Amino acid sequence: MTIALETRDLGKSFGSLVATRNVSLAFEAGLRHAIIGPNGAGKTTFFNLLAGNLRPDGGRVLLGDRDVTHLGLAQRARLGIARSFQRNNVFMDLTVLENLVFARAVREKRTAVFWRSLRSYGDLREGAEAIAEKVGLTGDLDTLARSLSYGGQRQLEVGLALACDPKVLLLDEPTAGMSPEETARMRDLIRQLPGSLTMVIIEHDMDLVMDIADSITVLDYGSVLTQGTPTEIRASELVRERYLGGAAANPAGAL
Partner 1 sequence: MASRVFLRRLIGAGLLVAALAGCKLSSYFTQDLIAEAAILAVFALSLDFLATCGLVSFGHAGLLGVGAYAFGGLTVLAGYSPGAALAAAVLAGLIVALAAGVLAVRTTGAFFIMVTLALAEMFYSWVFRDRTFKGADGMGGVPRLDLSLIGVDLNDAASFSIFVVLLCAAIWLALEFLIVSPFGRTLDAIRQNAGRVSALGGSVFAYRLAAFTISGGIAAFAGAFKVQHTNFLSPDLAGWLASGDVLIAVVIGGIGTLVGGILGAAILVFLKDFLSSHFGHWYLFLGAIFMMVAIGLPRGIVGWVVELRGKRP
For partner 1, the binding residues (CB under 8 A) are 51, 72-75, 77-78, 82-83, 85, 89-94, 102-103, 105-107, 110-119, 121, 144, 160-161, 163-164
Between residues 4 and 209, which has the closer beta carbon with respect to partner 1? 4
- Of 4, 23, 6, whose CA–CA distance to 61 is shortest? 6
Cβ burial 54-91 (10 Å sphere, 16+ → b, else e): bebeebebbbeeeebbebeeeebbebbbbbbbbebebb
- Of 11, 40, 27, whose CA–CA distance to 201 is shortest? 27
Helix (H) or strand (E) holding 134: helix 122-134
Q: Least distance to partner 1 from the beta carbon of 120, Å?
A: 9
Between residues 22 and 53, which has the closer beta carbon with respect to partner 1? 53
Between residues 90 and 218, which has the closer beta carbon with respect to partner 1? 90
Q: Least distance to partner 1 from the beta carbon of 139, Å?
A: 18
Q: Least distance to partner 1 from the beta carbon of 77, Å?
A: 4
Q: Least distance to partner 1 from the beta carbon of 89, Å?
A: 5
How many Cα atoms occupy the beta-carbon half-sphere of 166 within 13 Å? 32
Between residues 28 and 165, which has the closer beta carbon with respect to partner 1? 165
φ, ψ of residue 191 to 5 degrees: the values are -60, -35
Between residues 160 and 189, which has the closer beta carbon with respect to partner 1? 160
Give the distance from CA 224 to its chain's centroid.
18
Q: Least distance to partner 1 from the beta carbon of 82, Å?
A: 7
